[in-house]
Chain A
Amino acid sequence: MFMANKAAVFGAGLMIVILFVSYILPLFFSADKFAYAGKRHTAPFTDGGPLLGTDYLGRDVALIVMHGGSTTLEVAGFAALLIVTVGALIGALAGYYGGIIDRTLMKVTEFFQVLPGLLFALVVVALFGASTTTIVLAIGVISWPPIARQTRSEFLKQKNLEYVKAARSIGASNARIILLTILPNTLPVLIVQATLTMGAAILFEAGLAFLGLGDPDSLSWGYYVGLNRQYFLVNWWGVTFPGLMVFLTVLSLSLIGDGIQDAINPKLRGR
């Protein structure tokens, strides 16, 4: 099913290329990315210069972009993991138990939904420092509500179905029913959501890093766009290529997510 979807296959191919550039290529190009590589602001594709030109300090743009991928992907990956775990847990509890637990948890969800994401993350990072852990937590704490809502509605749909009743009648505990009976059946939905969340988390990390809230030693894509921003009048490639990587990564995740969605639920195709 998935393979029949050309867009999704394209997305998956793109992701393989991105992973190759971010994790395999750096093994072969292990030169110091901070080293001087040529005259400042050397344009891309000039003879004798680095492939994608040099930045405002004469560093190799291609080398930095290549090494920046893993930082972006790791922050976004951990954040997405946190978002899906917290979201699924809260949604499951709210949907399964209903009543006062549902109302309380949904109020909490609503609270985190009205906080403006990026601004909240800015405040948290400004207060607690710009470490990777803080950034992952800041993105995670603010982004779980949509997942919680989705999981809750799945649980509401499923909790009265026959197979859940069967599990209850043989004396399964609530925890067992939530985690081992219903949750596996919501996995398809969660996987799609996780893919899309990962894309959103990459955009989130890129935005924060662009504003200077990132690790200056690892130079993630967004961070590097932020550094090169001041020089964009004379150096278009310094801002264009790292931004392009963010764009392509998010695009490929969206295509993959849509592909899985179509494979699971053909009725929604084309929506």
Chain B
Amino acid sequence: MKAVAVKILESFLLILAVIVFNFVLVHLAPGDVVDALSSGGLGDAREEQNELIREQIGLDQPFHVQLFTYVGNVLTGDFGWSPIGNKPVLEMIAPRIFPTLLLALSALTFAVLIGVTIGSIAARHPTSFFSAGLTVFALIGFAMPVFWTGILLLLVFGVWLEWLPIAGMNDLRLANDAPFVERALDTVRHLILPTISLGVIFLASYARLSRASMLEVLQSDYIRTARAKGLSEGPVMIKHALRNAVIPIITILGMEFGVLLSGAILVETVFNWPGLGRLAFEAVLTRDTNVLLAILTMVSATVILANLFTDIVYRLVDPRIRIEGA
């Protein structure tokens, strides 16, 4: 229990560090918000006015005062104002969270389910052609740039075969008051290609990882015992072996959440998916720093919390750690 409490405290400190780091980063950058908004400049008069605005929004305060104000604001959920969207940053971000979570979780589920299945089958037949093919597949999966995979999938399934929609999260022709089921099905159709593009990066490495750990587990004594008892292959694989073989995957899930969300920026841009990633891309184009920082903070916090979560799940799945760590 104590170990968990320490982990929670550490995670909180880490989030705090991210917020402070963001603030320092903005301070190191040349120019400030006022310069960015009043580009062009009209001589001394303009400079005087800029000073006035700086005073109003607190940019004339000493560094540490600004830092404390900023950290306090962020911790209470105030990420400032977006001059581009002309509304609070939080209002720009809120509607984008669900689409990104949907995409990320869908890609993760796809990668884990298919990856573990492929890896387990390969481990059952380690010398087969299938098993050798997995290594090649893993190399290819790693080497394909995400955005390129996305565009190729669009070309094949969206443009040439016309099986799936090529952009967005819902069909524009779909009425707003369409029944829920119809809307949901439409979203699923739009979700397929982005899920595959994003999932493929992880699919390959999960398949390779689960094959390696499954190979190890299948050679252990308790599996031999289970087989000797006369259990059929199905239960041995699923109930006995798999449970231990997925542990390494759970460990890296939390760590890779950041990679997943980074990949989401590219995938969302390719597929015009209305999520946080595309908002980040738009914010880069318009130099909307507040929005970018808010997304960076939220995504980092999500990664930290995902790590914390996997750490706790890890303890539940593997009693050895629970006992040793206590």
| Chain A positions near chain B (C-beta within 8 angstroms) | 110-111, 113-120, 122-128, 199, 203, 206-207, 210-213, 222, 225-226, 229, 232-233, 236, 239-240, 243-244, 246-248, 250-251, 254-255, 258, 270-271
One of A119, A211, A233, A250 near B295 (C-beta < 8 A): A119
Further pairs besides A116-B300, A122-B292, A247-B143: 10, Cβ < 8 Å: A115-B303, A122-B284, A206-B145, A207-B146, A236-B155, A244-B148, A250-B142, A251-B143, A255-B139, A271-B212
B108 is an interface residue with CB less than 8 A from chain A: no
B residues 287-313 touching A (CB-CB < 8 Å): 287, 289, 292-293, 295-296, 299-300, 303-304, 307
Contacts of A251 in B (CB 8 A): 139-140, 143
Cα-based distance from A239 to B144 in the complex (angstroms): 13
Chain B residues with CB under 8 Å of A232's CB are: 151, 154-155, 159
B17 touches A126 (CB 8 A): no
Q: Which residues of A contact B280 (CB under 8 A)?
A: 119, 122
CB proximity to A under 8 Å, residues B148-164 = 148, 151-152, 154-155, 159
Listed residue (B259, B265, B289) with the most chain A CB atoms within 10 angstroms of its CB: B265
Given B152, B262, B269, which contacts A116 in the complex, CB threshold below 8 Å?
B262
Residue among B21, B142, B208, B295 with the highest chain A CB neighbour number at 10 A? B142
CB neighbors of A among B259-301 (8 A): 259, 261-263, 265-266, 269-270, 280-281, 283-285, 287, 289, 292-293, 295-296, 299-300
Q: Which 5 residue pairs are nearest across A and B when measured between Cβ atoms?
A: A243-B148, A118-B262, A127-B29, A250-B143, A251-B143
Q: Which chain A positions have C-beta within 8 A of B293?
A: 123
Interface contact A115-B258, CB-CB below 8 Å = yes
- Tell me, rounded to whole Å, the shortest Cβ–Cβ distance linking B25 to chain A: 6
5 contacts between A and B (CB under 8 A): A115-B18, A116-B261, A122-B292, A225-B148, A243-B145
Are B258 and A117 closer than 8 Å at their CB atoms? yes
Q: Which residue of B lies closest to A255 (CB)?
A: B139
Instruction: Known A116-B300, A246-B145, A271-B212; judge A225-B261 contact (CB<8 A).
Output: no
Q: Which residue of A lies closest to B160 (CB)?
A: A236
Q: What are the residues of chain A within 8 A of B139 when measuring CB–CB?
A: 251, 254-255, 258
Query: Which residue, of B140, B148, B212, B303, has the highest number of chain A Cβ atoms within 10 A?
Result: B148
- Bound together, the chains give a CA A85 to CA B17 distance in angstroms of 24
Q: Which residue of B lies closest to A202 (CB)?
A: B145
- The reply to whether A120 and B26 form a contact with Cβ atoms under 8 Å apart is no
With contact pairs A118-B265, A119-B295, A250-B142 given, residues A243 and B300 touching in the complex (Cβ less than 8 Å): no
Could you tell me the distance in whole angstroms from the C-beta of A77 to the nearest C-beta in chain B?
A: 17
Report the bound CA distance from A113 to B283 in whole Å. Answer: 23
CA distance A210 to B295 in the complex (A): 20
B14 close to A (CB within 8 Å): yes
Interface centre among B147, B293, B299 (most CB of A within 10 A): B147
A117 to B140, CA, bound (A): 21
CA–CA, A110 to B14, complex, Å?
Answer: 9
Nearest to B156 among chain A residues (CB) is: A236
The answer to whether B303 and A116 have CB atoms under 8 Å apart is yes
Chain A's nearest CB lies how many Å from the CB of B89? 14
- B255 interface hit (Cβ, 8 Å): yes
Distance between B211 CB and nearest chain A CB, rounded to angstroms: 9
Q: How far is the CB of A136 from chain B (nearest CB, A)?
A: 17
Cβ-based interface call for B179 (8 A): no
- Taking a contact as CB atoms closer than 8 A, the residue among B28, B151, B212 that contacts A229 in the complex is B151
With A212-B284, A247-B148 in contact, is A123–B292 under 8 Å at CB? Answer: yes
Residue of A119, A124, A206, A239 with most partner-chain B CB within 10 A? A119
By beta carbon, the residue of chain A nearest B132 is A270
B62 CB within 8 Å of chain A? no
Contacts of B40 on A, CB cut-off 8 Å? none
- Tell me the complex Cα distance, A206–B270, Å: 14
B15-32, CB < 8 A from A: 17-18, 21-22, 25-26, 28-30
Q: How many whole Å from A62's CB to the nearest CB in chain B?
A: 18
Q: B104: shortest Cβ distance to chain A, in Å?
A: 11
Pick from B26, B29, B295, B304: contact of A114, CB under 8 Å: B304
CA distance A117 to B277 in the complex (A): 13
Complex Cα gap A247–B139 (Å): 10
Whole-angstrom CA separation of A122 from B269 in the bound complex: 14
Given contacts A118-B266, A119-B280, contact A203 B14 (CB under 8 A): no
Bound-complex Cα distance A199 to B295 (A): 27
Set of chain A residues within 8 Å of B140, measured between Cβ atoms: 251
Q: Are B289 and A126 touching (Cβ within 8 A)? A: yes
Instruction: Name the contact of B285 in the complex, choosing from A120, A207, A212, A240 (C-beta under 8 A).
Output: A212
Q: Complex: how many Å from CA A211 to CA B307?
A: 28
**Which residues of chain B come closer than 8 Å to A203, judged between CB atoms?**
143, 145
